[in-house]
C-alpha cells in the first residue's frame, strides 16, 4: 500500500509566522521540518531574550554549542572573558648603573600579557621562603634547576645558591657550584664567610641605624622602642642624635637603662652626633635640685661614653650630693675591636640606613627620618636574610609617598630571595633595587 505524504488535510492548520533568526550563527542551523508534527511549535523552557552570541567553536563538536546554550540559564549578554594580565615585575637596565651591581634576571621579565610559567614558579618559591618554609622552597628549587637548564633557568640557580647560603649548607652549596660550572661554563657564586644562617641570632655585618630627633616624649618615642628591640636581640646599632633636642624624664630613664645595659654587656651600640644634646642636658641639671633623677642618670651615661673622666667625676659628685645616692663609677672604655672599628668607619663614611636579620611584621617607622633627610636615601639590605610578606607590603606603603614626590630611593644589596619577593609585591616600582654581582 502506498501512502501519500502530500494528502490534503481535513482542517487547515493555522499559518505559523516566519521565524526570525536571532543571529547570523543561528541562521545557519535552520532547516525545513520533515513532518507536520515536527513543524508544530514546542513550548520553551525559558523565554529567550535577544542575545549577543559570540560562540567559540574551536575544538567543539557539531551541535555542542546549541546543547550548552539550552542547558545554561538565560543571560542578558555573553562575552568572552578577557585574558588575565600578568603583573610583570621588571627592573629597567637604568637601575643597575653601578660597577658592583648587576641587572639580575628578576629585572628583565617580559610575559607579553600572558602568565609566564617561569615567573609563577619563582613566585611560588619566594613566597614559601618568606613564610619560613625553607625545606619546601629548597625542594621546589632543586626540581626547577633540573627542569630549566637554559639561560632562563639561571634565576633558580641563584635562588638556590642563596637559600643554601642562608641555611648554612656549605656542602650542598659547593656541589651546586660544580654543577653550575658544567651547565653555564662560568664561575659560580662564592660562599660568603660573613653570612650567618637564618636560624642563628641575627648579628649582621652592617649595623642598624636609629634616628633620635626633636623632643622625645612617651607618646611619640617609637625609635626608642626600636632601639630596645635591637639591644634585646644583641644587634649592632648606630644611634644618630644629631637632631635630638630634648626628652622628658620617662624617655631619659629608658635611654639611660638601654645604654647602660648595652655598655655592660659589651654590645656595639654607638652614639653619633650626641655632643650638642649632652651639652644642653648638662646645662639644665643643677646640683642640689633633687628633681629629674632619670635625666641625671642619662647625662652620666653620655659622659661615660663621650666625656672625659674628669668631667664625669665632677658630675657624679653632684649627683651623689643632690640625691644622697652612691654615684656610678667611671669605667675605662675598652679598645674597639676590628669589627667595631669597621662598623664605625662604615657608618661614618656611608649614609645608608642598614637593616639586618629576619624582617618579620616590620612597620619601618625608623625609616621616616631617613627618607625625610635625604633626596636619595639608600637602604642597605646586605645583612637581611629574610623579608616576610607583611614587611614587604609595609615597605611599599612607606616608600610610595616619597616616590610620588620625586625621591630617588635605592634599596641596595638584597639577596636574590629577598629581591624576587620585592618584585612580586611591586617594591621595584617604588625604588631602584641594586643586586650584587654573583
Contact, 251 vs 224, CB < 8 A?
A: yes
Alpha-carbon span 255 to 228, nearest angstrom: 9
Alpha-carbon span 110 to 99, nearest angstrom: 25
Helices 117-130 & 389-404, crossing angle to 10 degrees?
A: 110
Contact, 156 vs 121, CB < 8 A?
A: yes
**In the block, residue with C-alpha cell 637603662:** 257
Any idea what DSSP says for residue 356? E
Q: 51 phi and psi, to 5 degrees?
A: -110, 150
Alpha-carbon span 223 to 229, nearest angstrom: 10
Each residue's pLDDT, cut to its tens digit, for the chain (438 residues) gives 455 454 455 555 555 555 555 544 444 444 544 554 554 555 544 454 444 444 444 444 444 444 444 444 444 444 444 444 444 344 433 443 444 444 444 443 333 445 678 888 999 999 999 998 999 999 999 999 888 877 778 899 999 999 998 888 888 999 998 988 888 888 888 887 444 444 433 333 456 778 888 888 877 777 888 888 888 888 888 888 888 888 998 999 999 999 988 888 888 888 888 888 888 999 899 888 888 999 999 999 998 888 788 888 899 899 998 888 887 888 765 544 444 444 444 444 467 888 878 888 888 887 888 888 888 899 999 888 899 989 999 999 999 999 999 889 999 999 999 999 999 999 999 999 998 776
Domains and CATH numbers, the chain: 93-184 (no CATH), 208-323 (3.30.750), 339-436 (3.30.750.24)
Element (H, E) at 433: strand 432-436
Contact, 89 vs 120, CB < 8 A?
A: no
**Burial class for 243, CB neighbours closer than 10 Å (0-12, 13-18, 19+):** middle
- Nearest alpha carbon to residue 212 among 92, 298, 309: 298
Entry field: residues in the chain: 438
Three cell numbers at 119?
615567573
Say which residues have a Cβ less than 8 Å from residue 121's Cβ, sequence separation at least 6: 140, 144, 156
- Nearest alpha carbon to residue 158 among 204, 199, 106, 89: 106
Helices 154-167 & 170-184, crossing angle to 10 degrees?
A: 160
- Nearest alpha carbon to residue 303 among 267, 327, 335: 327
Alpha-carbon span 258 to 232, nearest angstrom: 9
Helices 134-147 & 154-167, crossing angle to 10 degrees?
A: 150
pLDDT tens readout for residues 258-294:
998 888 888 888 888 888 888 899 989 988 888 899 9
Most distant CA atoms of the chain, gap in Å: 139
Alpha-carbon span 4 to 406, nearest angstrom: 90
Angle at 315 between CA 312 and CA 317, to 5 degrees: 110
Position 267 scores a pLDDT of 82
Alpha-carbon span 171 to 168, nearest angstrom: 9
- Nearest alpha carbon to residue 374 among 431, 426, 332: 431
- Nearest alpha carbon to residue 117 among 139, 91, 147, 160: 147
Model's pTM, two decimal places?
0.47
Contact, 428 vs 396, CB < 8 A?
A: no
pLDDT tens readout for residues 43-100:
544 454 444 444 444 444 444 444 444 444 444 444 444 444 444 344 433 443 444 4
Alpha-carbon span 199 to 203, nearest angstrom: 11
* Alpha carbon 145 to chain centroid, angstroms: 24
Amino acid at each position: 500500500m502506498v501512502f501519500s505524504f502530500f494528502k490534503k488535510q481535513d482542517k487547515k492548520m493555522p499559518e505559523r509566522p516566519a521565524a526570525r533568526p536571532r543571529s547570523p550563527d543561528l541562521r545557519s542551523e535552520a532547516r525545513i521540518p520533515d513532518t507536520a508534527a515536527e513543524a508544530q511549535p514546542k513550548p520553551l523552557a525559558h523565554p529567550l531574550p535577544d542575545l549577543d552570541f559570540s560562540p567559540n567553536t574551536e575544538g567543539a563538536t557539531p551541535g555542542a554549542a546549541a546543547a550548552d546554550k539550552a542547558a545554561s540559564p538565560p543571560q542578558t549578554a555573553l562575552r568572552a572573558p578577557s585574558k588575565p594580565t600578568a603583573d610583570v615585575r621588571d627592573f629597567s637596565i637604568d637601575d643597575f648603573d653601578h660597577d658592583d651591581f648587576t641587572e639580575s634576571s628578576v629585572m628583565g621579565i617580559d610575559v607579553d600579557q600572558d602568565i609566564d610559567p617561569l615567573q609563577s614558579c619563582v613566585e611560588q618559591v619566594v613566597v614559601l621562603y618568606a613564610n619560613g618554609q625553607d625545606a619546601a622552597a629548597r625542594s621546589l628549587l632543586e626540581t626547577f634547576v633540573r627542569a630549566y637548564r637554559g639561560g632562563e633557568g639561571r634565576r633558580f640557580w641563584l635562588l638556590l645558591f642563596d637559600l643554601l647560603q642562608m641555611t648554612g649548607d656549605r656542602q650542598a652549596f659547593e656541589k651546586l657550584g660544580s654543577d653550575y660550572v658544567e651547565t653555564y661554563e662560568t664561575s659560580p657564586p662564592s660562599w660568603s664567610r660573613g653570612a650567618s644562617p637564618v636560624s642563628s641570632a641575627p648579628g649582621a655585618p652592617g649595623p642598624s641605624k636609629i634616628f633620635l630627633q626633636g623632643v622625645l616624649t612617651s607618646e611619640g618615642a617609637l625609635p626608642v622602642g626600636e632601639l630596645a628591640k635591637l639591644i634585646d636581640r644583641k644587634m649592632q646599632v648606630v644611634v644618630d642624635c644629631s637632631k635630638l633636642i630634648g626628652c622628658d624624664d620617662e624617655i631619659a630613664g629608658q635611654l639611660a637603662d638601654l645604654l647602660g645595659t648595652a655598655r655592660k654587656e659589651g654590645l656595639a651600640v654607638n652614639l653619633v652626633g650626641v655632643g650638642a644634646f649632652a651639652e644642653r642636658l648638662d646645662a639644665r641639671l643643677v646640683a642640689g635640685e633633687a628633681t629629674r633623677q632619670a635625666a641625671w642618670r642619662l647625662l652620666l651615661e653620655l659622659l661615660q661614653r663621650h666625656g672625659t673622666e674628669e668631667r664625669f667625676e665632677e658630675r657624679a659628685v653632684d649627683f651623689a650630693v643632690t640625691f644622697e645616692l652612691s654615684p656610678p663609677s667611671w669605667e675605662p672604655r675598652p679598645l674597639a675591636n676590628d669589627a667595631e672599628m669597621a662598623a664605625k668607619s662604615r657608618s661614618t663614611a656611608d649614609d645608608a640606613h642598614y637593616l639586618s636579620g629576619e624582617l618579620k611584621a616590620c612597620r619601618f617607622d625608623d625609616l621616616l627620618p631617613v627618607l625625610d633627610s635625604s633626596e636619595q636615601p639608600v637602604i642597605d639590605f646586605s645583612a637581611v636574610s629574610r623579608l616576610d610578606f607583611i614587611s614587604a607590603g609595609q615597605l611599599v606603603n612607606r616608600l610610595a609617598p616619597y616616590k610620588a614626590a620625586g625621591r630617588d630611593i635605592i634599596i641596595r644589596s638584597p639577596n636574590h630571595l629577598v629581591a624576587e619577593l620585592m618584585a612580586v609585591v611591586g617594591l621595584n616600582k617604588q625604588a631602584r633595587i641594586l643586586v650584587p654581582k654573583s
